[in-house]
Structure formats: structure tokens, C-alpha cells
Amino acid sequence: MLKKTFLWVALAVMPLVQGQEDLSLSYYLPEGTTYNSEIPTPKEIIGHEVGEWHVTHDKLVQYYQALAKSSDRIQLESRGSTYEGRPILLLTISSPANLAKIEEIRREHLAATEAGGAEKGTDRPIVVYQGFSVHGNEPSGANAALAYAYHLAAAEGQDIENKLENMVILLDPSFNPDGLQRFAYWANANRSMNLNPDNNEREYHEVWPGGRTNHYWFDLNRDWLPVQLPESKARLATFHKWLPNILTDHHEMGTNSTFFFQPGEPDRVHPLTPEMNQQLTAEIGSYHAKALDGIGSLYYTEENYDDYYYGKGSTFPDVNGSIGILFEQGSSRGHIQESENGVLTFPFTIRNQFTTAVSTIEAAEKMREKILKYQQDFYNNVRNEAGKDRMKGFVFGSPENQAATWELAKILEQHKIKIHPLEKDLKVGGESFTAGKAYIAPSNQKNYRLLKAMFEKRTTFKDSLFYDISAWTFPLAFNVDYASLGSLDAAGQPVEQLQPLSGSVDKKSNYAYLFEWHEYFTPKALNRIVNKGLRAKVAKGPFTLEGRKYDYGTIMVPVANQDMDPQAIHDFLTEVAMDSYLQIHGVSTGYTQGIDLGSNEFDPVKKQKVALIVGSGIRSYDAGEIWHLFDTRYDMQITKIGTEYLQRVDLSDYTDIIIPSVYSTSVLDSAAAKKLDQWVRSGGTLIGYSNTANWFKKHKMMKLEMKKDTLVAKNVPFDRRNDFRGAQETSGTIFEARLDRSHPVNFGYADELLPVFRNTNIYLEPDKDSYNNPIRYTDNPLLSGYVSEENMELLKNSVPFKVERKGKGRIMVFTDNTNFRAFWYGTNKLLMNAVFFGPSM
């Protein structure tokens, strides 16, 4: 067999500089290894050396297809597509003999995690899932994956053969194809032939929204638990299909940083993560340290990054019997950039990622039996814990909102958490659950810890600092009733597969159709109705008609005086009901107990044309959540208007304008404020979020009074100043609010108590008139998560929502995020109410 032998020169032990004229694949590869010449190098397929240019996703796909064709160590599959249609690839890499029986190996691996699995011992391959560049503008990972895949496919000798015989590697070369493509285009388009390390060079300052996020500007490294996005669904399916023993997650951080690998902050580990997990993480870390020492790279551990939120790629494995490893490489953010540690080149960042990818499988091979046993012990301990737990499971479900109940159940199904339908009516702790409209998730199951992590409320913590959010209780996020159970007597047979929801119109009417506003997808239905040209009205009060009670916010579609005949209206509404999972009721009279259908207490609902302010100065996460909500959930067109050209836009076409949270009050100037103010006075509805409240206040667009933080540091030493301030951040906590259900912003909520998600320190004073405070925090509002004592005092007697009339229009602000990470279903309707019913407020 022909062999390739690379020449190692001084470049292999120092960062490349300036033109990188001598860059070759040997810079990355282990010294002394020979390679099969029949396996193509990346350059032979993509046309440039790894690190010379930023690889675009199409070239990445091209190389892996060529690699899979030429190597009997690789199986390539596409697990679906991103929103932009890019394939979500996975390479399964092992010895040819293992790949020939890969399904058998997978089944045996999973069997070892079941009851009695310890009897199978540890004489089998270890499974390592290695993922790269979940943030698209942290590209050294995905580019390192090119060289790493080549190494695994082409390296020769007993060492690589032993490794591949003793492990299955699941290589996910680009966790975020759309973001990677976006950033690669930017970096390459701004690359000069004479590489320029000046920090002011445009190449290192990508335009909004940047390449970090996916198509809808979501941080994919926060979606392992919510699993709302196609990229996440693909990788979660891979995780549960294999239950890997190790999962690595390759990232980048600030240019002036070196290299980080876990373990992270010792006091910021979730309590459900076993201590042995952290011990093994540290032992694996010793292999990374040795490898980085060997190439002279600086690094650190046990600082900055934590292991608390289970929705991150390096933490999610820890609650699932695996070991998650985070890598963070100081970023060149382009091809070459000055840093406090010298000139930082893109190839240097790639080499560190490649080196730790290799040291990961070195550790996996050497620690194989220990890590396999850990996974067996993890699930044995879980079964023992679950069996002893007096809490036998959770029941969850809201009869008024079956869609939200189903969506929550769907998440559990994707996480392989077993659920059962509720077979008989149940009353637990003051909550009532209806048979056929709720589910039970038993404790006694394999994923007991994951279930517990998703459903528990936690308000006490070892540390007051968090890298991410401190609370994510899923039933609260979905505003679905839930309770813990001491018995499973009401549980039916296990759900093998969730069946799709349905909707219907109960009967044809020549008078009117009604549907309540409780269900999650009612805004989608209403949007279709008004866009069809049908007149619709919203009830501002409750009533009873033909034996059925209707709540605030009920939608009425009269049959008379429409441009469609009665049969066409019935047929169309039947389509709407099925598409939005609604029960629509035909009625034969307008004479009710309460407000009659012809009453002025029914306000007309107009066709909405909504604009979303985006661009420089706007928080892209918040903007993306809103765009995604309208576009993918409610099938509503939304026009994205950039901050840089807002002044040139004729706003008279729009009924509603939404400004997501802004980074500073200077994002839009006084001319923009004047333009928006005039538009509101002409009848528009302006909706702002979070820090936009400060912008409204600065430009006197709203009369807002804010509570001030008067905290002063006393006896706090200089080296603890960041901890002191960090402890005052409310970075992600769940609070309880009380609703005035008669106010249009709260239409569709069957209960006056609502869990809300807060990730801001903005506290609004309430209005002196109670009817102008439709949403207020309760007296003891903390439901789950961390909040400092000082902020709790500020929160009390504050309000998360304000609305003011201005001329013919309305202006309103939410301090709390109603659309957080696409899984906060429970408060999405507040925004939709502001859009559809703003004129009624």
C-alpha cells in the first residue's frame, strides 16, 4: 500500500505567522504517523489547505463524501436538514470489522445500560461522540474536524488500529451548518492576500447578527433540553440512539484567552451530576494537558465555565450517564489577529482543537473499562434511586390547552422519557387533571434523573453565580398544570408513539362560529381567518351560550355579511380547526347569558401587518425568538426592518411594530423616536421588550418609573468584585405573576396565576390605578431559580408589563422575555394578544 509521510518542521511547534506560506497538513498531524495515500487529503478535495481559508459548509460536505467513499473506516449519513436546507451530517468511524456489525455493537452497548447490564462486563467498544462548532463563528472546531477525520481514515499503524477496534467514534463535523456558512463567507470575503493581524481590521468585526447562531438566530448550545430546532433534534436522536460514553463540544472564546478544557468551576455543578462524573472528567483532562504540553500550548481548567444548565452540549451528557467535555479555544475570529499572547493564527487555533480531539480518544482507549463501568453504575444507581423515591412520578396537562400539553409530551418523548395517558380524573394538591387530557411520567424509569431535572423546582444553590440560566422547569415554561404523585393508579398503558392532535367544527351554522382563546395555536387560526377576508370579533367578557361557557377572548366569526357563503365558511373553518388543533363551535343564536353576540363588548379584530426591528444594537437572540415564533409557529408574515434604514421606511403600512431588547439606549436616535411616536399616535401598536423600556423612558415615549439598585459593596475585596456584581444578575429565573384576566393582554389564560421567565434587572413601578396593572408579581413570586435578596425586594410590588394610550395608538413594554429560547410556550400568547388586541387595551 502506498503511504504518505509528512515533513515536520519548526512550524509544528510554534504558531504560524503572517502569510502562512508554509502551511501544510503536517502542522496538525501527530509526528511520525504514516498515512494511506489512497485516502484524499482535505486540500485534494476542497482546493485549499486546512486553515488557509475558512471551510464553507458545502466544501465540508464535499470532503466527507469523498472520505467516506475512499475509506472502509467511515460510514456517512445525513440526519435531516437545517432551516436553510444544509445536510446535518454524521460520520460513524471505527474499524472495518466493527462497522460490519455496527448495529449489533450499538444494541449491545445499550443493553449494558439496562437492568442486569453489569453482567455484560466491559469487553466491548467505548462510544465517543465528538461535535464541533455549535457556534458558527467559532470555526476552529469544524475546520479541525477536517484534519481529524482525515487522520482517523488514513493513519496507519498499530496505535490507530487498536483505537478503532476498541471504540466507535460519532463525528458530528458541524453542529451548526447555517452559522458556519454565514461566518465562513464573512471571514473569506474580507480576507486579504497579505494577512493583517490588526484588531481593527474589518475581518474581525462581523456584521449583525454574526455567525454564532442558526438561521433564526438561536444559540444551538442552549437547545439540548428544549430540543426545538432541527439541528438539535438530529443530534439528540443520535445521542439517545447510542448513549455515548463521552461527548465533546469544541468552542471558541475571546481572542486574548488561551485554551480551556473541563472540569469547570467546582462549585457550579448541578446536584444531579454524580461526583464520579467530575472525577473522570478531571482524569480525562490529564490527557488533554499532556497533549497540549507536547505542542507548547497554554491552557487552564476549573475557571469561568460551569456544569449547571443541562441544556448545554457539555452538560447534557452528565445527566444521561455520559461525560461531557467542553473545549474553549481563544479565537482568531478570522485568519490572523493580534492578542495579548502574541499573534494568533487560525491554523494555531485549529491545531489545539485537533490535538484535544486526538487526546480525547487517547483517554477513551486508556480509560475504556473504567468509563464503561461508570455508565453501567450510573443507570444502576438511577434505578435504585427511582425505586426508593416516594414520589412515584409527575402528572401534567391542562384541559384548556391541549396543544401545549402535547408539545411538552413531545419533548419528553424525544428524550426517551416514558409517559402514560391519564386514565381517570385526578385531583392532587389542589390541581385537577382530566382523564384523556393529561399524561403521567413515572419516576421508575431509566431517565429518572433527566425527568427530575426537567420538572423540579430549585431555589437553593451552592453558588450564586451562573454561566447560564438557573431555572428551566418545563411544566412552568409551558404553563401546564402539574403535580407529583405518590401512586401511579391513574396511569394507562405506556405511550408507544404520540399521536398527532386534531381539531374540528362541531356543526355547520348559518349564524356564527365561536372558539375560545385558550389553546396555543389560536393566533395561527385567527390570522388565517382575517387574512381570508372574514370578519372576526373578540369577546371582552365571558358568556354562556347553548349550555357552553365561553371565556374572555373568545373569537366570534359571524356568518352573515361575509364575502363567503355559509358552506364555504364552514369548510374553511374546518380546515382552520384541523390545522390549528381547535374545537370550533357553530351556534344558532346570538342570545346568551352574558354579553350577546351583537354586543359592543365584542371588538373587531383587524388583519395585522407586523414589523420587527432588527440589526445593529438589537439583541439578536430576542429578535430571532420573535421571528421564529411568527414564522414557524403561527405562519404569520413578519417584516424585519433594520435599524440602519428605519428612517427611510414608510411605517403607515404596519399595524404593529416590535422592538426586541436593545443593548443600549443609543441604538435608535431621537429622530427614530419621533418617527415611531407619530406612527403610534396615528393608530399603531408599538411593543418593546426589556431594555427597550429604558429607550422609551429616555425619549419620553412612555411614563415609566423604575426602581433603582442602591446596593453598595461593603467589605468586598478587589478580587471578589466580579463575584459580588455577578450575584446580583437575574440571568434566568422563574417568577409567579397574577393576571387581571379581563384585560386583553391576558385573554386566553384560564388561570389568574402565570409563571414568567425573567432574565433582566429592570423593575417597573406599578401604576397608581390597579386596572392599569394587568400583570403583577405575587407577594411570594419566586417559583424556581436564583435571585438575590436585594433583587427580590426590588421585584416585589413591581410590574412586568405597562401599556399607555397615545393618540389613536398604544405603546407597551414587557420587561420579561415572553418567548425565551422557543420553549417558553406559556407566555407566547401575551405577545400575540398585544398584536391582535392592542387597540382594545
CA distances from 394 to 136, 475, 487, 490 (A): 38, 10, 10, 11
Q: Which three cell numbers stand for residue 423?
A: 386514565
Q: What is the mean pLDDT of residues 180-205?
A: 97
pLDDT value, residue 31: 94
The H-or-E segment that residue 831 falls in is helix 825-837
pLDDT digits (tens, 9 = 90+) for 59-112: 999 999 999 999 999 999 999 999 999 999 999 999 999 999 999 999 999 999
pLDDT digits (tens, 9 = 90+) for 332-384: 999 999 999 999 999 999 999 999 999 999 999 999 999 999 999 999 999 99
Average pLDDT, the chain: 95
The model's confidence at residue 10, banded by pLDDT at 50, 70 and 90, is very low
pLDDT digits (tens, 9 = 90+) for 116-156: 877 778 899 999 999 999 999 999 999 999 999 999 999 99
Overall domain count for the chain = 4
pLDDT value, residue 726: 66
What letter represents residue 367's amino acid? Answer: M
Query: Is 634 found in the same domain as 599?
Result: no
Please calculate the CA angle 623-625-627 and round it to the nearest 5 degrees: 70
Task: Reply yes or no on whether the pLDDT at 196 is more than 70.
Answer: yes
Query: Is 142 found in the same domain as 188?
Result: yes
pLDDT value, residue 710: 73
Query: Is 292 found in the same domain as 315?
Result: yes
Domain end position, chosen among 563, 578, 605: 605
Query: Is 616 found in the same domain as 510?
Result: no
pLDDT digits (tens, 9 = 90+) for 408-455: 999 999 999 999 999 999 999 889 999 999 999 999 999 999 999 999
Query: Is 401 found in the same domain as 317?
Result: no
pLDDT digits (tens, 9 = 90+) for 229-251: 999 999 999 999 999 999 999 99
The model's confidence at residue 50, banded by pLDDT at 50, 70 and 90, is very high
CB atoms within 10 A of CB 295: 16
Could you tell me the residue range of the domain that residue 172 belongs to?
A: 40-364
Contacts of 685 by beta carbon, 8 Å cutoff, 6+ apart: 655, 656, 657, 809, 810, 811, 812, 834, 835, 838, 839
pLDDT value, residue 712: 73
pTM: 0.96
Task: Reply yes or no on whether the pLDDT at 13 is more than 70.
Answer: no
Please indicate whether residue 338 or residue 6 has the higher confidence score (pLDDT): 338
Q: Which three cell numbers stand for residue 321?
A: 450517564
pLDDT value, residue 20: 64
- Please indicate, yes or no, if residue 712 is contained in any of the structural domains: yes
Query: Is 811 found in the same domain as 664?
Result: yes
Domain end position, chosen among 583, 605, 627: 605
pLDDT value, residue 709: 77
CATH number at residue 177: 3.40.630.10
For residue 419, give the nearest of 490, 486, 481 by alpha carbon: 490
Query: Is 633 found in the same domain as 596?
Result: no
pLDDT value, residue 801: 98
CA distances from 719 to 303, 340, 722 (A): 14, 21, 7
Are the C-beta atoms of 471 and 276 separated by less than 8 Å? no
pLDDT value, residue 242: 99
Query: Is 263 found in the same domain as 222?
Result: yes
Write down the number of H helices and E strands in the chain: 22, 35
Domain end position, chosen among 585, 605, 625: 605
pLDDT digits (tens, 9 = 90+) for 286-302: 999 999 999 999 999 99
**Residues above pLDDT 90, as percent of the chain:** 90
Query: Is 348 found in the same domain as 207?
Result: yes
Are the C-beta atoms of 445 and 417 separated by less than 8 Å? yes
